Structure 1
Amino acid sequence: MKLKQIVALGALASAAAFTQAAPIWQDFSLTGLYGENYAYPFQGEDNHQTTITAEYAAGLKYGDFFAFADRSHTDAGNETYFEVSPRLSLGAVTGQKLEVGPIKDVLISTTWEGGSNFNNYLYGIGFALDIPYTSYANINFYKAVNDNTKDDYQMTITYAVPFKIGGEEFLADAFLDWSTAEDEPNHASELNWTSQYKWNVGKHISPETKLYVGVEHSVWHNKYGFKDLDQHDVSALVKYHF
C-alpha cells in the first residue's frame, strides 16, 4: 500500500476513533428507489435501475458519523457501493467555539468510498453551517487518493430543508459532489447533484412513524469521469426511518 493511502486510512481511522462514543442522536433508515433513465458507460442513458439503500447517521460527542450502502439491480448488471464518513469536531476536541459567520464548527472530514474492485479514500476539512430554514448544512473539501487515477480534489455539500404545507410534513434534502479532472488516465471533472423530495405519510399512521414517499432527482455530469456521460433521472422513492 502506498504511503499516501496509509495516510488517508490513518486519517479515516483517527476520525472514527475520536468519534466513538454513545450517540447523542442516531438514525437508521431503508430506502427503495426505481428509475428508468440511469446512465452507464457503454450502455447509454436509458437504463432501468432498482436500488435498496441502508443509511446510518449519528451525532457524537466529538463529531458525527454517516454511512450508507447501496445494492442496485440495473440493465448493466448488479452493483454494490458504500461510503463511510466519520468527521472529527475540532470545536469539541479543543473545547473552543469555532463559530464565524455562518460557520458553527470546523471538522476533520474523512470518507471511504468502496465498491466492486475499487476503493477511494478522501480526507480534508469540513464546516458545519448555520443556514436559515435548514435542519443541517455542511460543506467538505477533500483530497482523494486511489489506485485508478491520479489524486484529485472534491467538494461535497449536504443540506436538508424541512417544511410544511397545510399541516403536512415534507423534507427536501440533497448532496452535491464536484471533483476535479485528471489527464492520465482521461478522467473528466464530475458534478453530481442528487436531491430527494419527500412527504411524511407515516404521521397518518402514528405520530412516531417516519415513512416517506416522494422522488429522487439525479443530475450527474460526466458520470464516473466519462466525458459527456450525463444522467438526468427522476426515481420513485419510499423511505422508512426506524
Structure 2
Amino acid sequence: MAHRPAALLALTLLAASASALAADWSDTSIGYRYGTHFAEPFNQKDISKSIINLTHASGYKYGSNFFNADLLLADKNDPASVGSNTGSQEVYVVYRHTLDLGKVTGADLKFGPVRGLGLTAGFDINTKDDAGYNSKKRMWVAGPTVMFDVPGFLNLSLLQLWESNAPYNGYSKTSVERYNYDPHPMLNLAWGIPFSIGSLPLSFEGYANFIAAKGKNEFGVGTKPETNIDMQVMYDLSPLVNAQKKTFRVGLEYQYWRNKFGNDHKGAAGKGAFAKTPMIRAEYHF
C-alpha cells in the first residue's frame, strides 16, 4: 500500500526539482503568528503558541510548487514531557506540487468559471515532543485539482491520503510501531484573493480541509471526520515603510478545527479536539 504513493511522490519531486531550475515566478517568506486559544486532544487547557514559518511558492511552465515549514512553540499548558514546565516543540512540513494538465497537453481546458485542471501530489511530515503523544506523522497525498478563474487563485482538490504515525506516550512510557490508518479522502479548498477597502490593499487567504474518517487509530478507537479551516485577512503595509509592494504584511488569522486529528470532540478527547483559535500574523517576503 505504501509503495504506490511513495512512487507517485518520487515522480512529483523529480518534476519539482526540474521546475525549480526554470521558475517563472516565486515568492518566499518568513512569518510569525501567535494565539492564546490553541487546543490539543485530551488536554482541557487553552494553549498559547508562537509559530515561526518559512513558506515558498513558485510557478513554472507546467505547474506550481508550494512548501511550508512551521516551528510551533507552545507554553507549559502543552508540556514537553511529563511534569515539565517547558512547552512542547513541533515541526510540521507541507509540500504540494500541482501539474497543470492544460499546460502539459497544450489543450484549452477552460470552461465556465474554471481556468484549468491539474493533478496535485505531495506530503505532510511532522515531529513533536510532548508529554502525551509525541507525534511522528507521515502522510502522502495525491488527486485531481480544479483551478478557478478568479483574481489571485482558488483551487479545489480531491485528495487521497495515506497517513501513518508512530507515537510515544510519556505517561505510560509505551511506544507504538508505525501504524497505517485506512486510506481516506480529503476535500481541500485553497485560496488567495486580493481585494481592497478604499485605498487599503488587503488579501483574503487560507485553506479548508474536509477530511473523512481514517478507520481505527493505533489504539483501536474509531476516528471521526475532521473539519479544519484556517483563514486570514492580510494588509500590505509595504508602502508605509517605503518597501516594495507585498514585502511586509500583517493581519488577523482564525483557525476552526473540529475533531482534531480524527478525535471525537464529544468523547474522551474533550474540548481539546475542537480548536477555535484567533491569531495575529506578520510576514516578510523576499
TM-score (norm 1): 0.93
Amino acid aligned to 1:190: E
Cα distance, 1:8–1:190 mapped onto 2, change above 3 Å: farther
Alignment partner, residue 277 of structure 2: 233
SS at match of 2:46: strand
SS at match of 2:33: strand
Alignment partner, residue 205 of structure 2: 173
Deviations 1:196-225 (A, max 9, x none): 111111211125152111111001111111
Alignment partner, residue 153 of structure 2: 136
Alignment partner, residue 126 of structure 1: 145
What displacement does 1:183 show?
2.9
Cα distance, 1:93–1:200 mapped onto 2, change above 3 Å: same
Bigger Rg, which one:
2
Counterpart contact for 1:175–1:193, Cα < 8 Å: yes
- Larger strand percent: 1
Counterpart contact for 2:34–2:280, Cα < 8 Å: yes
Instruction: Tell me, in whole angstroms, the C-alpha distance in 2 between the residues paired with 1:2 and 1:182.
Output: 15
Instruction: Tell me, in whole angstroms, the C-alpha distance in 1 between the residues paired with 2:45 and 2:284.
Output: 29
Alignment partner, residue 109 of structure 2: 98
Superposition pairs for residues 6-21 of structure 1, below 5 Å? 6-13=6-13, 15-16=15-16, 19-21=19-21
Instruction: Tell me, in whole angstroms, the C-alpha distance in 2 between the residues paired with 1:104 and 1:90.
Output: 11
Instruction: Tell me, in whole angstroms, the C-alpha distance in 2 between the residues paired with 1:142 and 1:180.
Output: 11
Counterpart contact for 1:45–1:230, Cα < 8 Å: no
Structure 2, unaligned runs of 5 or more: 79-87, 128-135, 165-179, 266-272
Aligned-pair Cα RMSD in Å: 1.7
How many aligned residue pairs are there?
240
TM-score (norm 2): 0.79
Alignment partner, residue 39 of structure 1: 39
Cα distance, 1:14–1:22 mapped onto 2, change above 3 Å: closer
